[in-house]
Amino acid sequence: MLLIFDWDGTLADSREHIVNAMQAAITELKLAEKTDDQCAQMIGLGLLEVARSLYPSLNDDGLNLFASSYSAHFTDMRQHYGGTQFFPGAISTLEALSEQGHSLAVATGKSRRGLNRVLDADNIGYLFSATRAADETASKPSPLMLEEILADTGIPVSQAVMIGDTSYDMEMAANIDMQRIAVSFGMHEVDVLQQYSPSLVIDRLDQLLQWHGLV
């Protein structure tokens, strides 16, 4: 089975870091204020889509400025936040799934540079057969990154599942009739995720190990 994971809000508990970087970009660029919750609801989209969703009137230059400012602030804040804060059981669950013979992948709204940085820093890149970042393909909820992961791994959609915490993850998988599992501890509320008919909603990542759909 191919298990495709979202990163932020599913494997990594990075809400505060991301929201604070968004707010710093908003302040630097003197854009209209947004609440922390409004920013958090954008997590999972590519940076340009985040900027476009928060500020629909921005032109291309403005969108790119937001993305650049966010990236700079996110990097600067790493000294404060330190390494990746994974949700409990994240790494041990990934290792157990890999040991059971399952293929693992990542489909994320992070940039390729950002994803590579965390995979290298946490020394877990070896666990994943394929990865896709938002700046090298279409952003969620387009299913393109899932289609590319399937092509890379040679695994049919019937043998794959998307695991994520946002409606973007669920909609992306639903768009190609891929099974989907929602996590209850991420960015979007469970009642929002339930609208996309996930096969399962989990409260802890290690619950994946007991899922009857793993074959």
pTM: 0.92
Higher pLDDT, 98 or 213: 98
Section 167-189 average pLDDT: 97
State how beta strands 130-133 and 200-202 pair: unpaired
Enumerate long-range contacts of 184-192, CB under 8 Å, 24 or more apart.
185/87, 186/6, 186/9, 186/10, 187/8, 187/9, 187/15, 187/40, 187/41, 187/43, 187/44, 188/41, 192/167
Section 75-100 average pLDDT: 92
Check residue 157 and report its DSSP letter. Answer: G
How far apart CA 55 and CA 147 sit, in angstroms, is 29
Q: Residue 208 in contact with residue 3, Cβ under 8 Å?
A: yes
Section 63-89 average pLDDT: 92
Residue 90, pLDDT score: 97
Q: Residue 27 in contact with residue 128, Cβ under 8 Å?
A: no
Residue 78, pLDDT score: 82
Residue 203, pLDDT score: 97
Residue 82, pLDDT score: 81
How far apart CA 199 and CA 211 sit, in angstroms, is 10
Domains of the chain: 2-12+87-210 (3.40.50.1000), 15-81 (1.10.150.240)
Q: Residue 9 in contact with residue 165, Cβ under 8 Å?
A: yes
Higher pLDDT, 73 or 82: 73
Section 67-85 average pLDDT: 90
Section 27-45 average pLDDT: 96
Q: What is the pLDDT of residues 118-154, one digit of tens each?
A: 999 889 999 999 999 999 999 999 999 999 999 999 9
Residue 79, pLDDT score: 82
Section 22-41 average pLDDT: 97
pLDDT at 211 over 90: yes
**Nearest alpha-carbon partner for 170 in 157, 158, 183:** 183
Burial pattern 194-203, b for ≥16 Cβ within 10 A else e, equals eebebebebe
Residue 81, pLDDT score: 85
- In percent, the amount of the chain with pLDDT more than 90 equals 91
How far apart CA 87 and CA 202 sit, in angstroms, is 13
Residue 215, pLDDT score: 64
| Cα torsion through 43, 45, 46, 52, rounded to 10 | -100
Tokens 């791994």 belong to 153
Section 80-107 average pLDDT: 94
Average confidence score pLDDT of the chain: 95
Burial class of residue 118 in the structure, from the number of CB atoms within 10 Å of its CB (0-12 exposed, 13-18 middle, 19+ buried): buried
